[in-house]
Amino acid sequence: MNLDVARLLHHQAGVATIEQLVGQGLTESVVRAQVAARRWQRQGARCVVAHNHLLSRPEQMWVAVLDPVGLTALAGMTALETAGFRFFGREVERIHVVVRRGARYHRMPGVTIHESRRFEPQDVDRRRGIPSTEPARSALDAAAWQPHPRYACGVLAAVVQQRLCTATELSEQLRFVGRIRHKQPIRLALLDIAGGAEALSELDIGVLCRRHGLVEPVRQRVRRDPSGRRRYLDCEWDLPDGSVVVLEVDGSHHFEAAHWEADMKRERLVVISRRRVLRCTANEARHDQQAVAADLRAAGVPTELSGADVVRAT
């Protein structure tokens, strides 16, 4: 194996197309001999892998990118995965790639290929080695490919929370995507995310406020406790009389002993600071919004929309 071939295989996790190998000085007969001797293996329609055992996740990604003819890149959740993204603590098994509309490709198990009219060389980011779409586009694609709008918005909140891109970058990218699934919920969610929402439950509070005509809260406001440590509050309203109402939204992890005790300590510090604390579960924020809105209104959170405006906001 010559040095150019070795470098190519090293860069591409041991994966190459037959055309690439021939371009680096090997002959097709040499490649076929390596496969016949089971030192290498064929994958897809155009690729070989320079070993004979199961493929790793990076090798699977390279095969998915190299096998289609023409411009191809990892996309959606898979492109975000290469940047370190984790959605609700789960890894996404399917590999998503994007190609130009009308491209020739071979369908492979575990790979979803998306054809796009809006895919040009400048859309491909090669900084992590393997060709991928950049984070803002990847996030919007991943959101649009979700079956439900709630999870589409959750992807975007998680991407911003994990600092892969900003809400501003997502909003800018949204201007150019044309018609995509869940576009209106995504647009509203980006307003909440720009205001500090970092979880599905916090996005639900934004929907709750718009639906019931409540002033939207300040999210993730930083407060320092008596020891000087920074604390983040989920939702906070500054009332006209100078008092403050805090709503803490508890996901399932809050009921674990360690989280529950930490939450109690934090709540004591908030109460000591003369703020009124309300708590609800993430399930209530999603499925019992009328009751949560009534409690917020009773606590003094003001309304800001007329009845007609409330209908439009939903």
Each residue of 84-121: pLDDT tens digit? 998 654 556 789 999 999 998 988 999 999 999 989 99
14-39 burial, b for 16+ CB within 10 Å, e for fewer?
A: bbbbbebbeebebeeeebeebbeeee
Q: Does the predicted TM-score (pTM) go above 0.75?
A: no
pLDDT for 13-68, tens place per residue?
999 999 999 999 999 999 999 999 999 999 999 999 999 999 999 999 999 999 99
State the pLDDT at residue 227: 55
Burial class (CB in 10 A: 0-12, 13-18, 19+), 312: exposed
For residue range 142-189, what is the model confidence (pLDDT) as tens digits? 999 998 888 888 899 889 989 999 999 999 999 888 888 999 889 888
Give every CB contact of residue 168 below 8 A, 6+ residues apart in sequence. 194
Output DSSP code: residue 303: B
Residue with tokens 């930083």: 222
Q: Output the 3-class SS for 119-160.
A: CCHHHEECCCCCCEECHHHHHHHHHHCCCCHHHHHHHHHHHH
Nearest to 265 by CA among 251, 252, 277: 277
Whether 221 shows a pLDDT value over 80: the answer reads no
Q: What SS3 class is residue 222?
A: strand
Residue type, 74: L
